[in-house]
Amino acid sequence: MISNKSIIRHTPNVITLFNLVAGCLSIVSAFEGNLQMAGILIIVAAIFDFFDGFTARLLGAYSPLGKELDSLSDVVSFGIAPSMILFQLLKGALGIPNSEGLLSGHYLLAVPFIMAAFSSLRLGIFNLDERQTSSFIGLPTPANALLTVGLVFGLNSSWSNIFSIIDSSAVAIIVLVLVQSALLVCEIPMFSLKLKSLKFSVAYKQITLIIGAIVLVVIFQTAALSLAILWYISLSIFFWFIEKKSKVIGN
């Protein structure tokens, strides 16, 4: 018989595995050409990714197994799945028919999976880097994946004419892959999204992010996701620059 203690200990791991399953289903959806559903499933995976950590903290159920499962699941859901979406977008931009692909000699289609490799590298670095206990160095893999998902949502919104500029250009998609890959492993500090206080003096970064994100949603609606991630990146760089400048002045 399974004890209550065992159930509690493994609850976060079960949620992590739901993250993995959602990522796998996203890959299947992208492979079948349903990029909208692929994007939704990545968001579902991100929700599970949030709740496995939240549940582990709530229940005090941390384990080495949970840490390993979390990284492995994130590689699938936030590395391979968004790369598969970009693969399909690049394939469309190059005008390659569905019956052909990478093995037919269209080797440029391998480029999106550079991002999957850098996502894996970023997760490995994160697990070993003691500087990233309360903030991030480089763009977190879920945020990077949501940047790609936002592109898909933008293409299916009233702002599609703007987003199609990227979608219709193979060069733009390849550049996007390279930029996203660089952001994953860059040495730019990115602030944590956890809201530990409602006081602006304490959580001014998170509150500024939330206010800006709300404005973007009101204006762009379903096309706001990529823009919200770009807002997060911009704020992180801005606050990093201000804090760095303050330290120089202080010295």
- Residues whose CB is less than 8 angstroms from the CB of residue 110 and which lie 6 or more positions away in sequence, other chains included: 102
Q: Which tokens hold the place of 159?
A: 């702002």
Domain boundaries, the chain: 4-188
Is residue 89 pLDDT above 90, yes or no? yes
**Percent of the chain at pLDDT above 90?**
57
May I ask the CATH architecture of the domain 4-188? Answer: Up-down Bundle (1.20)
- Residues whose CB is less than 8 angstroms from the CB of residue 232 and which lie 6 or more positions away in sequence, other chains included: 143, 190, 193, 209
pLDDT tier at 77 (50, 70, 90 boundaries)? Answer: very high
pLDDT tier at 145 (50, 70, 90 boundaries)? Answer: very high
Q: Which tokens hold the place of 140?
A: 């977190």
pTM of the complete model: 0.89
Is residue 167 pLDDT above 90, yes or no? no
The H or E element that residue 5 is part of is: helix 4-31
| Per-residue pLDDT reduced to its tens digit, 181-229 | 999 999 889 988 876 667 777 788 999 999 999 999 999 999 999 999 9
- Alpha-carbon gap, residue 82 to 49, rounded angstroms: 15
pLDDT at 5: 62
31-36: average pLDDT: 94
| Per-residue pLDDT reduced to its tens digit, 94-110 | 999 888 888 888 999 99
Is residue 3 pLDDT above 60, yes or no? no
